């Protein structure tokens, strides 16, 4: 009887051990932004990506002194509000690390890299954008690399290097408790530009 009980427990333990490391994906409408979100999480990490409308980017960067042309260049990107958290409990702490240079955006059978704060900085410098505007841009973009201890998180904008409205899959990687992890979020979509403005390239 005891042996049979143990045999019954084995699949449950295996299931538990698998599920404890399973990545759960959810999608829906973000209650605060009222825009679509995609989220992945497990017992230690949580990544939430919320669409950001081009009109929101226009308003944000106009208020920070960017010219109409520069603002339009940013608005025609695929920007998501991004929140990456270490949610591991102190009783079982994990350290998370990621590098956005390892992530890939897959759209129409093409794999492209994200457009990072360093890429934008290079472009903005070349266009003669002033220091205070570049600082505002740099710090509003999601950090390219980061290491999170329990309770740590960042919040910022990520650019998936596509045109508004484009559908894509996102292949993401992170390092957690000494192990590499990766997953793919399927069928994400850049926010469409519902109110396009004319603007030249910066």
Partner 1 sequence: MIKPILYSICIMLTLAVQAAAPVQQTLPALAKPFAAPEFELKGEDGKSYRLSDYRGKLVILAFWATWCPPCRFEMPSLERAWQKLKHKNIIVLGVNVGEDADTIFEFTGNFPMSFPIPMDLKGEVVKKYPVVGLPTSYIISPNGKVTHRAVGSREWDKPDILSRLLHMSQTR
**Residues engaged in binding partner 1 (CB under 8 A):** 11-12, 15-16, 19-20, 22, 24, 26, 39, 41-43, 46, 60, 64, 85, 87, 89-90, 131-132, 135-136, 138-140, 142-146, 148-156
Report in angstroms how near the CB of residue 182 gets to partner 1 at its nearest.
18
Report in angstroms how near the CB of residue 103 gets to partner 1 at its nearest.
16
Residue 138 burial by CB count (10 A; 0-12/13-18/19+): exposed, middle or buried?
A: middle
Closer residue to partner 1 (CB): 39 or 68: 39
Q: What is the DSSP letter of 84?
A: E
Report in angstroms how near the CB of residue 112 gets to partner 1 at its nearest.
23
Closer residue to partner 1 (CB): 131 or 198: 131
For residue 100 the two structure tokens come to: 């956005």
Contact 190, 51 (CB under 8 A): yes
Q: Report the 10 Å Cβ neighbour count for 163.
A: 12
- Torsion angle (degrees, nearest 10) of CA 100, 156, 115, 24: 50
Report in angstroms how near the CB of residue 63 gets to partner 1 at its nearest.
8
Q: Among candidates 81, 202, 195, 92, which has minimal Cα distance to 150?
A: 92
Report in angstroms how near the CB of residue 166 gets to partner 1 at its nearest.
26
Closer residue to partner 1 (CB): 87 or 202: 87
CB half-sphere exposure, 202, CA atoms < 13 A: 21
Closer residue to partner 1 (CB): 94 or 161: 94
**What's phi and psi for 127, nearest 5 deg?**
-90, 0
For residue 179 the two structure tokens come to: 């192990």
Report in angstroms how near the CB of residue 11 gets to partner 1 at its nearest.
6
Q: Report the 10 Å Cβ neighbour count for 175.
A: 16
**Separation of alpha carbons 169 and 94, rounded Å:** 27
Closer residue to partner 1 (CB): 43 or 166: 43
Closer residue to partner 1 (CB): 143 or 199: 143
């Amino acid at each position: 009887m005891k042996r049979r009980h143990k045999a019954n427990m084995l699949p449950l333990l295996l299931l538990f051990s698998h599920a404890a490391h399973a990545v759960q994906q959810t999608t829906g409408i973000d209650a605060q932004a009222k825009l679509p979100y995609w989220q992945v999480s497990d017992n230690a990490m949580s990544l939430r990506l919320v669409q950001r409308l081009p009109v929101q980017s226009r308003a944000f960067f106009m208020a920070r002194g960017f010219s109409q042309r520069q603002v339009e260049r940013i608005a025609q990107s695929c920007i998501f509000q991004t929140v990456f958290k270490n949610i591991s409990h102190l009783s079982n702490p994990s350290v998370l690390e990621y590098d956005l240079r390892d992530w890939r955006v897959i759209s129409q059978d093409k794999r492209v890299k994200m457009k990072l704060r360093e890429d934008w900085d290079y472009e903005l410098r070349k266009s003669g954008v002033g220091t205070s505007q570049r600082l505002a841009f740099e710090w509003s973009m999601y950090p390219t690399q980061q290491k999170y201890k329990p309770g740590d998180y960042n919040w910022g904008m990520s650019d998936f290097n596509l045109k508004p409205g484009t559908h894509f899959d996102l292949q993401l990687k992170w390092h957690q408790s000494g192990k590499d992890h990766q997953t793919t979020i399927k069928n994400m979509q850049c926010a469409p530009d519902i109110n396009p403005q004319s603007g030249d390239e910066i």
